[in-house]
Amino acid sequence: MLRFAPSPTGDMHIGNLRVAILNHIIAKQKKEDLIIRIEDTDKERNIEGKDKEILEILGLFAIDYKQVFLQSNNIKYHQQIAMQLLIDKKAFNCFCSDEALENDREKLKNEGKPYRYSGFCENLSDELTFGLDAPFTVRLKKPTHDISFKDIVKGDFTYKPFDVDSFVILRTDKTPTYNFACAVDDMLTDISTVIRGEDHLSNTPKQIHIREQIGYNKEIEYIHLPVILNQETGKKMSKRDDASSVKWLISEGYLPAAIANYLILLGYNPPCEIFTVEEAIEWFDISKISKSSARFDLEKLKFINREHIKMLDDMRLSKILGFADIEIGKLAKVFMEESNTINDLKSKISLIFAPKVNCEGFESELNQLMQCLSDAPFMDDFETLKKYVGEKTSLKGKNLFMPLRFAITGAQHGPNLSEIYPFIKNYLGEIIK
């Protein structure tokens, strides 16, 4: 079983989508199921409606999952397991106040040392703590041995007990912390492979330690994906970068198939550049992903998007553009040389159907032409039309072609009119207005 575990705390980031897509691919390759676990236990950071939005995006990308569940539904199990760890003396109640912990943090910082829990509450006797009426967290005792694991992409890691530390597993309100809920849920759902962002690498020894203390010994295969960097700054793509939001990319007219193609390609050397997720399932080898971070390249995504738009069936493209006529899909493809996105195509096509005013420098010629075209009979090909309007208006050369292009396309430049005309000839009455 594999899992994708998004937090409903903001717009879905492309890094998270990449994690979801690769989980989907590996689940298919291993012939295992994928489940979606919405990690909603941090109530303060949750944003209403983001869980639904995440599922809608997964639907758009055809991510095939078996089940969705909210992590908050498992809180009772997290608490029961924490209780057992307390009984087994593998965990302890910690009464240290936020101020006391902050003081320790400051002190260590001033000494140039990393923060670690002081261990103050670890050995308090039950008699002493029993009657205490103060808020407390539950901490797991740090390990007594090194924790080692192998990451398929990043290599081998070993963490010292000091690095793992005695960390909080239940907050004062007795909700589980991320590491605890995650480790317990991975165990409860029998996860075999964890694929997630490399920002979680340092959480892995903590999660292994939690499961070891519970007595669960099944080994999980880990794959931490390198972060995606902003092309200009070379820093991690943050929420402030528009292109980091999947919702933004879709609203800008990038096809899900193209975004998926691009994300699979990041840090990977595929056998071909343009492919579908189904094809990638055949050849993708996750162990061959580059260890180092990849830069997000919007120009490359544009190129891939163009290729995927060209591959769309004409009728499907027409529908995406808001029409239900195969001719409009064909018309859109004539504009592909100068378009990168669905939005570019929509604006070209809406110009064709927009009222034609203001053809700079050719105002009177445009009036003449529009009149002539609206009185003209139906003409099957562009050559006949061109000849007809030339004769009727006596306009010639630029004075004919500039306003004629404008009358038909609403723009002064673009593909040859003879390529456009076959697909708009049935709409001429609507266009000339």
Contact string 113-142 vs ligand GLU (x = CB under 6 A): ------------------------------
Q: Which is nearer to ligand GLU, 5 or 243 (CB)?
A: 5
Under rule CB under 6 A, how many of the chain's residues touch ligand GLU? 7
Torsional sign, CA 393, 399, 401, 403? negative
CB of 420 to ligand GLU, least distance (A): 47
Q: Which of 25, 58, 94, 182 binds ligand GLU (CB under 6 A)?
A: 182
Is residue 200 close enough to count as binding ligand GLU by CB under 6 A?
yes
Q: Which is nearer to ligand GLU, 54 or 94 (CB)?
A: 54
Is residue 365 close enough to count as binding ligand GLU by CB under 6 A?
no
CB of 37 to ligand GLU, least distance (A): 8
- What is the distance between the alpha carbons of residues 129 and 92, in angstroms, rounded to a whole number? 10
Q: Which of 2, 7, 27, 421 binds ligand GLU (CB under 6 A)?
A: 7
Q: Which is nearer to ligand GLU, 43 or 396 (CB)?
A: 43
Q: Report DSSP state, residue 10.
A: S
Q: Which is nearer to ligand GLU, 5 or 352 (CB)?
A: 5
229 Cβ contact partners less than 8 Å away, ≥ 6 residues apart: 235, 236, 237, 293, 294, 295, 296
Starting at the earlier edge strand, list the strands of the sheet with 155-159.
Answer: 67-70, 34-38, 2-4, 193-197, 221-225, 147-151, 155-159
Is residue 6 close enough to count as binding ligand GLU by CB under 6 A?
yes
Site for ligand GLU in 85-114 (CB under 6 A): none
User: Which range binds ligand GLU by CB under 6 A, 2-10, 96-104, 208-216, 372-380?
Assistant: 2-10
Q: Which of 5, 25, 36, 237 binds ligand GLU (CB under 6 A)?
A: 5
- What is the distance between the alpha carbons of residues 419 and 422, in angstroms, rounded to a whole number? 7
Which residue of the chain is nearest ligand GLU when measured via CB?
Answer: 196
Q: Which is nearer to ligand GLU, 7 or 213 (CB)?
A: 7
Cα–Cα distances in angstroms (integers) from residue 326 to residues 223, 330, 359, 414, in the given order: 44, 6, 29, 21
Q: Report DSSP state, residue 245.
A: B
Instruction: Check: CB of residue 92 under 8 Å from CB of residue 51.
Output: no
Is residue 8 close enough to count as binding ligand GLU by CB under 6 A?
no
- What is the distance between the alpha carbons of residues 164 and 109, in angstroms, rounded to a whole number? 18
User: Which range binds ligand GLU by CB under 6 A, 1-9, 77-85, 226-234, 238-246?
Assistant: 1-9
Site for ligand GLU in 16-45 (CB under 6 A): 39
For residue 63, what are its two tokens?
A: 């991510």
Q: Which is nearer to ligand GLU, 178 or 323 (CB)?
A: 178
- Give the closest residue to 35 by CA, choosing from 207, 200, 212, 192: 192
Q: Which is nearer to ligand GLU, 36 or 395 (CB)?
A: 36
Q: Which is nearer to ligand GLU, 4 or 421 (CB)?
A: 4
- Tokens 């195969």: give the residue: 326
Cα–Cα distances in angstroms (integers) from residue 278 to residues 25, 26, 112, 130, 284, in the given order: 8, 12, 51, 59, 10
User: Which range binds ligand GLU by CB under 6 A, 5-13, 78-86, 349-357, 367-375?
Assistant: 5-13
Q: Report DSSP state, residue 226.
A: P
Is residue 54 close enough to count as binding ligand GLU by CB under 6 A?
no
CB of 130 to ligand GLU, least distance (A): 36
> 375: exposed, middle or buried (C-beta count within 10 Å: 0-12, 13-18, 19+)?
exposed
Residue 91 forms beta bridges with which residues?
A: 140
**Footprint of ligand GLU on this chain (CB under 6 A)?**
5-7, 39, 182, 196, 200
